[in-house]
Amino acid sequence: MKFLSVKWGVVPVVIGMIVFACVEAWGFHWKYYGTNDEGSYFYETETMARSSENTVKVCVQSIYTEKGVSHWVEGGGKEFQQLEFTLIMSEFNCVEKSIRHLRIVFYSKNGRLFYPIKNEEWHFFVPDSMSGALFKEICK
């Protein structure tokens, strides 16, 4: 019986070490770029890359306030009530001042992934929006 308790105590430690090593190896470096009444916004600096001379791909993390969650519930339904944050792979065209969201993944408060979206349509953004703030950061 003691062997099992030691074994079950070691397993979480080993799993934790593996997860820590993976996170360290992938090295996410989030940089804050703004807040509004719907949430706080960060972009990942290490994986950001120019996909051509005029375009930049960037991963964005949006962490939502209650108002931000309510916005998603209104537009998407009750499944968004447990929304905590999204990871969005976006691409900016720095010349045309447009954006497209290549993939959006929603994460619930209990860590569950739901409702991934793929969309490759380009659209223009409002300059004083969060997309406009990120444009100023990455298209310098």
Query: In this predicted model, what pLDDT tens digit does every residue of 45-86 receive, in sequence order?
Result: 999 999 888 999 999 999 999 999 999 999 989 989 999 999
Domain segments of the chain as ranges: 27-138
20's CB contacts (< 8 A; 6+ apart) are: none
Per residue in 77-107, pLDDT (tens digit) is 998 999 999 999 999 999 999 999 999 999 9
Pick the CATH number of 27-138 from 2.40.128.710, 1.10.287.80, 3.40.50.2000, 2.20.25.570: 2.40.128.710
- The candidate with the shortest Cα–Cα distance to 87, out of 66, 107, 67, 112, is 107
On the question of pLDDT at 3 being above 50, the answer is no
